[in-house]
Homo-oligomer: A and B are copies of this chain.
Amino acid sequence: MKIAVIGSGAVGLLYGARLARTGHDVRFLMRRDLQAVRQRGLTVESCDGDFHLDKVQAFGDPREIGAVDLVICSLKTTSLDEAERLIRPCVGPQTEILCLMNGFNIEPRFGRWFGPERVLGGLAFVCSNRGEPGVVHHLDYGRVTFGHLLDDRAKAERIAALFAEAGFETHVAPSLLQARYEKLFWNVPFNTICVTAGAVTTREILGDAGLCELARALMREVGASAEADGCRIDTQAFSDKMMSDTGTMGPYRPSMLIDYELKRPLEVEAILGEPVRRARQLEVPVPTIETQYRLVSFLDRLNRGEIRVEGPHAQH
């Protein structure tokens, strides 16, 4: 199968490399790693076993990739505005597009750009990061949950089989919308409290009764939105599961915390802004999510130097 990986960050490199190793014709759109990969290939240092690909098809422009059977869009959502332009040259009449991205309300945008029948979503539960150019680290996990924008189960199962063949645990969601809401149950509290509570891991959150209560308040609001949006999630039971699963994971650094520490733009719109806007459409009050949204939006810009602060003695 001819596959284009648009967005060769830690997620795109890892999944693309494993699909290439399985024998698929994988073509990566790269920026940072382009020259290194062309010269030395791609190294995956993985908890599932290291491997190296000598010959990797790496491109700097999507027009060189051309039309493929499957586009995997693994851009950060902070680059979502560039997605249509980058993907368009790879889309032919039969091309399917998999959004392997974090956040909420991702696939409907792709549906408007390219038609909903060809759009799928992938929710990766994975811990990976990039090393030096040409090297990606796969630290833990790797499971992906798939769904189709119109909930065409056969299409979701075909994509899931592709990833299963590459050695990943896969799951097919009966409803993509519900799967996205279920992911928010974890992402909204843990990604964002890690930032607003002063750059801490899940361990410190779980160790503090007040922050646990804040996490649960956020989950209740996600659950209320999901219910108003037609999903069926037992909020109490699902919240309990998220809290206990997070405890067994051990100290974990959510992607938003890692981005924050590296002073990279945070996925604030995909993880907080879109859920807030959807809740407003549904007329569901989400004051706790809104508070996190306003704080994280500000902290993101403050952290990257976009806001200048008065010195500590300006008052005197």
- Listed in ascending order, the chain A residues whose CB lies under 8 Å from chain B are 127, 137, 139, 196-201, 203-204, 207-208, 210-211, 213-214, 217, 251-253, 261, 287-288, 290-295, 297-299, 302-303, 307, 309-310, 312, 314-316
How far, in Å, is A4 (CB) from chain B's closest CB?
A: 30
Q: Are B213 and A294 in contact (CB under 8 A)?
A: yes
List B contacts of A287 (CB < 8 A): 217, 287-288, 291
Q: Which of B293, B307, B315 contacts A204 (CB 8 A)?
A: B307
Copy total for this chain: 2
Please report the C-alpha to C-alpha distance between residue A293 and residue B4 in the assembled complex, in whole angstroms.
Answer: 47
Given A196-B196, A198-B303, A291-B288, A298 contacting B251 (CB threshold 8 A): no
Give A220's nearest chain B residue, CB to CB: B287
Q: Which of B198, B294, B299 contacts A214 (CB 8 A)?
A: B294
21 contacting pairs across A/B (C-beta < 8 A): A196-B196, A196-B295, A198-B299, A200-B309, A201-B310, A201-B315, A204-B309, A204-B310, A207-B307, A208-B298, A208-B307, A210-B294, A210-B297, A214-B291, A251-B315, A252-B315, A253-B314, A253-B315, A261-B312, A287-B288, A288-B288
List B contacts of A298 (CB < 8 A): 197-198, 204, 208, 210-211
Give A299's nearest chain B residue, CB to CB: B198
How far, in Å, is A37 (CB) from chain B's closest CB?
A: 22
Given A302-B200, A307-B204, A291 contacting B291 (CB threshold 8 A): yes
Given A217-B287, A290-B217, A291-B217, A314 contacting B201 (CB threshold 8 A): yes
